[in-house]
Amino acid sequence: MAEPEQPQLYLITPPEIDLLSFPARLASVLDAAPFACIRLALATHDEDRLMRAADAVREVAHMHDIALVIDTHVVLAERLGLDGVHLHGARGVRAARKALGPDAIVGAFCGASRHDGMNAGEAGADYVAFGPVGGAILGDGSLAERDLFDWWSQMIELPVVAEGGLTPDLMRDLAPVTDFFAIGEEIWGEDDALAALSRLTSALR
């Protein structure tokens, strides 16, 4: 019997980045593990800062042949020619799909709500993210339990992402029932991002 495929990795940027140092730090992380996608998820709403950050991150992403989506900003995704957008909730998915076209990536974070996840899928999302799975502050703070991922993986074909408060034990537990692990503050919050990444990915080996 074939081994089930391991989930892929999805990288979330820190909420604040230094454009002088972050591209090199990002490149070292992308060299260390095979990521399928990067999400530019900055805390700022300043359009100029977002555009400059998107340009810097896109350069590194494209050197590694990895898709880049931006958190929330459909207009900037379109203007900057990014690969897509990551939305919060199912609302807006249909409009984003219409604005960005059929080839763009449109993802939706749906907290711990099966209902929102299904609505996002029906509206044209390419993936649904549930979280937090651990102790991170995300959405309304409700934990996305393993049962949700188990049900989704059995009933729904749309790819599912687990994010927020990941640990090696959680990743080991969720690996059979999720398609992607979205890793962000779990590594950027550490002095040595590569060591933190290695600890997490060891759970998948």
Side-chain half-sphere exposure of 57, counting CA atoms within 13 A: 29
Count up the domains in the chain and report the number.
1
Residue 1 lies in a domain: no
Residue 34 lies in a domain: yes
Residue 3 lies in a domain: no
The secondary structure of residue 133, as a DSSP letter, is: S
Q: 172 lies in which domain range?
A: 8-204
Tell me which residue has tokens 């790819």: 159
Contacts 24+ apart (CB under 8 A), 76-82: 76/47, 76/50, 76/51, 77/104, 80/51, 80/54, 80/55, 82/40, 82/54, 82/58
Q: How confident is the model over 170-199, as pLDDT tens digits?
A: 999 999 999 999 999 999 999 999 999 999
Q: What is the CATH number of the domain that holds 176?
A: 3.20.20.70
pTM for the full model?
0.95
Residue 149 lies in a domain: yes
Residue 50 lies in a domain: yes
Residue 71 lies in a domain: yes
Residue 47 lies in a domain: yes
Residue 144 lies in a domain: yes
Which residue type is seen at 198? S
Q: How confident is the model over 127-165, as pLDDT tens digits?
A: 999 999 998 677 777 899 999 999 999 999 999 999 999
* Rounded average pLDDT over 57-76: 97
Q: How confident is the model over 102-112, as pLDDT tens digits?
A: 999 999 999 99
Q: Are 93 and 124 in contact (CB under 8 A)?
A: yes
State how far the Cα of 121 lies from the Cα of 174, in Å rounded to an integer: 21
